[in-house]
Amino acid sequence: MTEIRLRDSGSHGTQDCRSADEPLVVVVQGPTASGKTELAHRLADVFPMEIISADSRQVWSGLDIGTAKPPVEERHRYRYHGVDICTPDRRLSAGEFAHAAWQWIADIHRRGHIPLVVGGSGLYVRAIVEGLFEQPGDISPTIRSELQYRLARDGRDALYEELARIDPESAARYSDRNPRRLLRALEFYYTHGIPLSLAQRQHRIEPPPMHVVRLTLLPNREHLYRRIEHRTTTMWRSGLLDEVRRLLDSGYQPTAPAFETIGYAEAIAVIEGRMTLPDAIEHTALRTRHYAKRQYTWLRHATDCGTVFPSFGSDVFAAACTTIESARTTFIEQRP
């Protein structure tokens, strides 16, 4: 199991939200490059907040440029949690992260501050605020191998139709036909003999009590894609290749889980001579757009997005402040 290094407690800012047992938690979510970090920092300049980065890629130490981590000085200024907590050769499950996040939330609340969850990874955010599923037992390697073969041979549509027959509830949730999710649900069914959706209800771990305020950024797609292009170009010009070379020189293998990340996989391909630099940059932007599109689609159809902001700009910041202040006032008034 991945060891999570928790930072020590401290104190800064005004003391608010102090005496209730149930913390007020603000969540800023949205597709990649939608402006979540900028909004989070502006909010933390106004409210006594500490930031939990719910990003499955920023957890890896040494992966800075390609994961768009805020500079170290900003991470200290805004009191970040969830960044650089495991090495690139380890995987951190949503369950492990959620358990750590629940501790951070409790500590932040105890200091009289507001936990601000910035995601990043929808799975991490959902695990934090909605709970998680503790899988009973391991998946059969034979079944996993067979299903991967069938995915390559028959395609994801065939596997989706199969899942719709045996577990329609999971199929409805995975209507985007994401291959990884389809494989997970089918692997579970054929290993344990029960639908994944049923097991998730029976083996669900509920999160600690918290009052959640969600703010969702869903900007115009053309604007979002322009930001992705700019971020991709900046990432490569800022030394992504050198960062990957340093990680390889320090002993990490090209097959390390961290190098599956968009941008890092392309950098490995350039270093190994399998891809030219211009092709790698173009491929990084393309994969990022596809990833943002999946995030965008999921958020548009989600039922728990809270307040949705369809654009960038100072008006979004002002509206977010109003939403948080209103929730905080109501929350304080309702305390026993």
- The confidence score (pLDDT) of residue 192 equals 87
- Report the distance separating Cα 279 and Cα 272, nearest Å: 14
Task: List all residues 6 or more positions away from 129 whose beta carbon is below 8 Å from its beta carbon.
Answer: 25, 27, 117, 207, 210, 212
**Average pLDDT of the residues in 136-143:** 81
Tell me the per-residue pLDDT of 216-266, one tens digit each, with 9 for 90 and over.
Answer: 999 888 999 999 999 999 999 999 999 999 999 999 999 999 999 999 999
Q: pTM score, two decimals?
A: 0.79
Across 38-52, 140-154, 297-311, least confident range: 297-311
| H-helix segments, the chain | 36-46, 72-77, 94-110, 122-130, 141-154, 156-166, 168-173, 179-192, 196-202, 221-237, 240-249, 264-271, 277-301, 314-333
Beta bridge partners of 118: 28, 53
**Average pLDDT of the residues in 161-184:** 90
Tell me the per-residue pLDDT of 44-89, one tens digit each, with 9 for 90 and over.
Answer: 999 999 999 999 999 999 999 999 999 999 999 999 999 999 999 9
Phi, then psi, of 51 in degrees rounded to 5 = -100, 130
- Report the distance separating Cα 179 and Cα 186, nearest Å: 11
**Average pLDDT of the residues in 137-164:** 91
Domain 141-202 sits in CATH 3.30.1490.20: no
Task: List all residues 6 or more positions away from 322 whose beta carbon is below 8 Å from its beta carbon.
Answer: none
Tell me the per-residue pLDDT of 269-301, one tens digit each, with 9 for 90 and over.
Answer: 999 999 999 999 999 999 999 999 988 888 887
Tell me the per-residue pLDDT of 191-226, one tens digit each, with 9 for 90 and over.
Answer: 989 998 888 787 778 899 999 999 999 988 899 999
- The confidence score (pLDDT) of residue 201 equals 80
Query: What superfamily does domain 24-133+206-333 belong to in CATH?
Result: P-loop containing nucleotide triphosphate hydrolases (3.40.50.300)
Domain ranges of the chain: 24-133+206-333, 141-202
